[in-house]
Homo-oligomer: A and B are copies of this chain.
Amino acid sequence: MPTDDTKSDPRTLTTVLNAIDIIRALMHLNGAGVTELANHLGESKSTTYTYLKSLEKGGLVRKDDDRYRLSYDMLIFGEYVRNQSLLYTIGKSEVDNLAAETGQYAHLVVEESGRGHNLYKSKGEQAVGDGYQMAKFQQRDYLHITASGKAILAYLPRERVEMIIDRYGLPARTEQTITCKDRLFEELADIREQGFSHNNEEEIEGFQAIGAPIRSRDGTVLGSLSVSGPKSMFGEDSECQRIIDLVTKVANVIEVNVNMHRRSSEIVKDET
**Number of copies of this kind of chain in the complex:** 2
Instruction: Report the Cα distance A50→B11, complex, angstroms.
Output: 7
CA distance A110 to B23 in the complex (A): 21
A169 CB within 8 Å of chain B: no
A59 CB contact (under 8 Å) in B20, B50, B62, B81: B20
A51 within 8 Å of B (CB atoms): yes
Q: Which residues of B contact A60 (CB under 8 A)?
A: 20
Could you tell me which residues of chain A, from 53 to 109, have a CB within 8 Å of some CB in chain B? 53-55, 57-60, 62, 69-84, 89
Interface size on A, residues (CB 8 A): 49
Q: Is the CB of B20 within 8 A of A53?
A: no
**Residues from 231 to 257 in A contacting B, C-beta threshold 8 Å:** none
Q: Would you give the 0/1 interface string for A26-37, flagging 1 where the beta carbon is closer than 8 Å to chain B?
A: 010010000000
Within the assembled complex, what's the spacing in Å between the Cα atoms of A69 and B83?
A: 13
A268 within 8 A of B: no
Q: How far is the CB of A232 from chain B (nearest CB, A)?
A: 25
Contacts of A59 in B (CB 8 A): 20, 113
Most chain B CB neighbours (cut-off 10 Å) among A82, A119, A139? A139
Q: Is the CB of B71 within 8 A of A78?
A: no
A residues 7-36 with Cβ under 8 Å of B? 9, 11-13, 15-17, 19-21, 23, 27, 30
| Selected A-B contacts with CB under 8 Å, 28 pairs | A12-B54, A12-B57, A13-B19, A13-B50, A13-B54, A15-B16, A15-B19, A16-B51, A17-B54, A17-B58, A19-B19, A20-B58, A27-B76, A59-B113, A62-B112, A69-B84, A72-B81, A72-B140, A73-B140, A75-B78, A75-B81, A75-B82, A75-B119, A76-B78, A76-B117, A78-B78, A78-B79, A78-B81
List chain A positions with a Cβ less than 8 A from chain B: 9, 11-13, 15-17, 19-21, 23, 27, 30, 50-51, 53-55, 57-60, 62, 69-84, 89, 110, 112-113, 117, 119, 131, 135, 139-140
